[in-house]
């Protein structure tokens, strides 16, 4: 059973403990194998998360490619009869094969992701961790009570793979300090070559916006956390992941690997 001291793990990870609390937790950490494992997983998850953002004009065919991918994924869950196949062909949507068997859930990989999501600790370029706060850092002790930031999950999505792709991905949109943080976690991704990267996009009426860049490890696992700080009001309708030739792609150049509508 976890002790109350274990509850301080995420605050310790985010450098939010007082000196006295930090010393107490580090003493606890020496004897708690569970906290040691959690801390190691969090540190591994936050490696190599570069990103940049800029609103861009949609390339030709981007909306059709995304919608086609979503329709394909939806059709695989319905009865595959000959009339339906002919209807899909007439609408220029290529059906994809049903998965032969469901994949086993990777509980070990999601555990550190959920912990990181709930504290919004995965923010920044590379391995940097930025704690988001509208208040300046206090330089002197104050008797005023500290404000508590409560994170709220707005949406949880499961991205559908394109035809021939066996990868899996989840997306979470989390509200914190009046901002929305998009957290993407993916597994079984195709291996990258050279300067290739994975790019996350959010779309509004077919127009793509950059929403985080990441690379995968040797097992094909990757993650990125991105603050969606775009000007004006937006009604996002789709989130997608593409494989790009490098991290500088301002418009989607590669194929769509995974995508999901945002309802």
What is the share, in percent, of the chain residues with pLDDT greater than 70? 61
Distance CA 220, CA 188 (A): 5
Tens-place pLDDT, residues 25-35: 899 989 999 99
Cβ distance 56 to 209 under 8 Å?
A: yes
Residue 56, pLDDT score: 57
Question: Cα angle vertex 5, ends 113, 21, to 5°?
Answer: 105
The secondary structure of the chain in percent helix, strand, coil, rounded to multiples of 5, reads: 25, 25, 50
Task: Report which DSSP code applies to 207.
Answer: E
Residue 98 pLDDT > 80, yes or no? no
Residue 63 pLDDT > 70, yes or no? no
Residue 145, pLDDT score: 56
What is the share, in percent, of the chain residues with pLDDT greater than 90? 35
Distance CA 14, CA 27 (A): 17
pTM for the whole structure? 0.47
Spans of all domains in the chain: 8-44, 53-59+123-130+151-261
Coil, helix or strand for 109? helix
Distance CA 2, CA 240 (A): 38
Mean pLDDT score of the chain, rounded to an integer?
74
Q: Which helix (H) or strand (E) holds 43?
A: helix 33-45
Both tokens assigned to 164 = 């021939």
Task: Report which DSSP code applies to 55.
Answer: B
Tens-place pLDDT, residues 140-189: 555 655 556 678 888 899 999 999 999 999 999 998 888 899 999 999 99
177-215: buried (b, 16+ CB within 10 Å) or exposed (e) per residue? eeebbbbbbbbbbbeeeeebbbbbbbbbebbbbbbbbbb
Residue 1 pLDDT > 90, yes or no? no
| Domain covering 53-59+123-130+151-261 in this structure, CATH number | 2.60.40
Rg over CA atoms, the chain: 21
* pLDDT band at residue 204 under the 50/70/90 scheme: very high
CA 10 to centroid of chain Cα atoms: 19
User: In angstroms, what CA-CA distances link 193 with 19, 144, 233?
Assistant: 44, 53, 37
Distance CA 130, CA 46 (A): 11
């Amino acid at each position: 059973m976890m002790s109350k001291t274990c509850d301080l793990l995420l605050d310790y990870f985010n450098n939010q403990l007082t000196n006295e609390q930090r010393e107490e937790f580090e003493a606890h950490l020496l004897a708690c194998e569970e906290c040691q494992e959690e801390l190691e997983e969090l540190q591994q998850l936050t490696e190599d998360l570069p990103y940049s953002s800029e609103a861009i004009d949609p390339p030709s065919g981007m909306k059709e490619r995304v919608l086609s991918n979503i329709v394909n994924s939806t059709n695989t869950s319905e009865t595959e009869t000959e009339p339906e196949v002919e209807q899909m062909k007439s609408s220029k949507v290529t059906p994809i094969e049903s998965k032969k068997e469901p994949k086993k859930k990777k509980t070990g990989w999601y555990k550190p992701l959920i912990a990181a999501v709930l504290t919004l600790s995965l923010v920044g370029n590379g391995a940097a961790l930025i704690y988001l706060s509208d208040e300046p850092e206090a330089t002197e002790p104050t008797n005023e009570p500290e404000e508590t930031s409560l994170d709220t999950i707005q949406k949880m999505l499961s991205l559908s793979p394109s035809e021939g792709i066996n990868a899996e991905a989840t997306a979470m949109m989390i509200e914190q300090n009046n901002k929305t943080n998009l957290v993407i976690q993916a597994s079984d991704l195709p291996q990258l070559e050279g300067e290739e990267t994975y790019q996350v996009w959010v779309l509004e009426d077919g127009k793509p916006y950059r929403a985080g860049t990441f690379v995968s490890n040797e097992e094909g696992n990757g993650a990125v956390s991105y603050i969606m700080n775009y000007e004006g009001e937006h009604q996002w309708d789709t989130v997608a992941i593409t494989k790009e030739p490098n991290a500088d792609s301002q418009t989607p150049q590669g194929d769509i690997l995974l995508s999901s509508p945002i309802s």
